[in-house]
Amino acid sequence: MERFLRHITMLTAATTVLVMAEGYTQADRIADMQKMAQAMQDIQSGFFYNNVDIVKAGTKVLKNTIVNVRPIDSEVNNKDIYEKWLNNDLKMTHKIQKKIKKKATVLEERFADGDAIQALQEYSRIAQQCMKCHVRLRKW
Ligand code: HEC
C-alpha cells in the first residue's frame, strides 16, 4: 500500500512537471521576440537622445524577456524536434540568454558612466547573439 501511494505521488509530480513545461505557444514566443526587438530600438533611441532612463528601460525589458525563450508546445510534442532542442538548441539558448543578460548589464553601466562608444559595442554584441540563434535555429 505504501509503495502504491508513493507511486501515485511520483505520477502526480511527473504530471505537474509536464504541465509546467507546457503553455509556451508560438504566439507567446513571437510576442516575446517583438518585445525584444522594441527593447533594442528603445536602447538605440536612448543612445541617440542621450537618455540613460530610456536605455535602462530597454535593457530591463530585454533581460526580463530573453529568459522566457524556450521550445514551444508543438516542438515539445514533436519528439524529433524536441530531442534536437534538448541536445543542441537548449544548451545554445541558455548560453545566449546568459550572454545577453550580462551584456545588457554592461551596456547600461557603460552608458551611465558616459562611455557611449563601449555601450554601443555591447549593443552590437547583443544583436549578434540574437542573430546567432536566428541563423542556427531558423536558418535565416
Ligand atoms: C534562442 C533563440 C532565439 C534568440 C536568442 C532570439 N530569437 Fe528572435 N526568434 C527566434 C525564433 C525561433 C523566432 C520565430 C518565432 C516563430 O515564428 O515561432 C524568432 C523571431 C523573431 C522575430 C520575428 C517576430 C515576428 O513578428 O514574426 C523578431 C523581431 C526577433 N525574433 C527578434 C529577436 C531579437 C531582437 C533577439 C535578441 C535580443 C532575438 N530575437 C533573439 C529565436 C530566437
pLDDT tens digit sequence for 73-106: 888 888 887 777 677 788 899 999 999 999 999 9
pLDDT of residue 3 exceeding 70, the answer is: no
In a domain, 91, yes or no: yes
pLDDT number for residue 15: 45
Task: Report d(CA 96, CA 105) in Å as an integer.
Answer: 14
pLDDT number for residue 72: 87
pLDDT digits (tens, 9 = 90+) for 117-136: 999 999 999 999 999 999 98
Distance from the alpha carbon of residue 106 to the mean position of ligand 1, in angstroms: 22
Residue 93 Cα: closest atom of ligand 1: 1
pLDDT number for residue 37: 98
Contact 138, 89 (CB under 8 A): no
What range does the domain containing 100 cover?
Answer: 24-138
Distance from the alpha carbon of residue 134 to the mean position of ligand 1, in angstroms: 6
Three-state SS for 79? helix
What's the rounded mean pLDDT across residues 53-77? 94
Q: Is the CB of 134 under 6 A from ligand 1?
A: yes
- Domain count within the chain: 1
In a domain, 14, yes or no: no
In a domain, 4, yes or no: no
Contact 62, 104 (CB under 8 A): yes
In a domain, 73, yes or no: yes
What letter would DSSP give residue 25? Answer: -
In a domain, 37, yes or no: yes
CA angle, residues 30, 36, 42, in degrees to nearest 5: 140
Q: What is the CATH number of the domain that holds 95?
A: 1.20.120.10
In a domain, 12, yes or no: no
In a domain, 114, yes or no: yes
In a domain, 102, yes or no: yes
pLDDT digits (tens, 9 = 90+) for 12-52: 444 444 444 568 999 999 999 999 999 999 999 999 999 99
